[in-house]
Amino acid sequence: MPPFIFTNILSLIDIKNLIVDFEVADADGVALSKKRVLNDITLSIDDGEFVSILGKNGSGKSTLAKCLNALILPTSGDVEILGLNTKDEKNLMSIRQNVGMTFQNPDNQIVSSIVEEDIAFGLENLGIETEEMKARIDTAMRSIGILDLRNSMVSKLSGGQKQKVSIAGILAMKPKIIVLDEPTSMIDKSSRVDLLNTVKYLNEHENITVILISHYVEEIMYGKRTIVLNDGRIIADDIPSEILLRKDILDFAGIDMPYIPKLATELKNLGKKLKGNETKVESLCQYLK
């Protein structure tokens, strides 16, 4: 199935013919074969975009995310961040300063017991001066809405609050790009909505390029572009409302279509002419009045 590709002009991220192979070993640790995890990925992402990368478990989403800050290097092909190739070791510090990354379990990133100290950790490693550090921490905590948690014990926080602390620590380092690898998979629905609204605000008001990795199809509506992965390949690249209504693509990727787009599709199949892409309850209800 051919992908639907955007035309890009000013790209922060350029990926060309990316292939990643992993060695598959037996129980004794003896390498038996190679497994292709990403297969010929070519992709560009522009400054200020909010891109969702959607796919079922095992589709290659997390591997692609880790390629963006050189945690995983290409077997072949190239990944360039701001024109810097991840395969060149001298570029690694600059790349990782510009690509902030959170993982699905925030406990894996938290290194201090107090919120403010945890946010300061990355800045200390960069050698940021004390006054500058304080200003950055205040700005990051205010942006993410956790100023009231400054002196809180991290161990007492909810999953959603811990994710916000992780994001604040990244924001304080002033990256151009934030990669969120399934940040909502371990938190409740209310916290999920709150976190994603915060990320959307940062994208729209702070001009931070956001890449959201998810297997929750409903989350793609927070962004303006969705890339669908299946078996390590891009099978679609389009605006979220189009992806939600493409049952063929979602079925091929092993993803269930949400109820409202499914209902809209069934109405169209019955010959009903909808006014547009009814992917939300409000828009479909307006049509049904």
Separation between Cα atoms, residue 109 and residue 2, nearest integer Å? 37
Q: Whole-prediction pTM value?
A: 0.82
Nearest to 123 by CA among 107, 139, 145: 139
Amino acid (1-letter code) at residue 87: K
Radius of gyration, CA atoms only, the chain: 20
Residues 6+ apart with CB under 8 A from 124: 133
- Per residue in 7-59, pLDDT (tens digit) is 444 589 999 999 999 988 776 767 678 899 999 999 999 999 999 999 998 99
Nearest to 179 by CA among 83, 270, 24, 49: 49
Structural domain spans, the chain: 11-240
Least confident of 41-55, 64-78, 133-147: 133-147
- The CA dihedral of 202, 206, 207, 208, to the nearest 10 degrees, is -50
Residue 105 contacts residue 187 (beta carbons within 8 Å): no
Separation between Cα atoms, residue 255 and residue 54, nearest integer Å? 9
- State the angle between helix axes of 115-126 and 130-144 in degrees (0 to 180), rounded to the nearest 10: 130
Separation between Cα atoms, residue 158 and residue 149, nearest integer Å? 11
Domain 11-240, what architecture?
3-Layer(aba) Sandwich (3.40)
pLDDT recorded at residue 133: 92
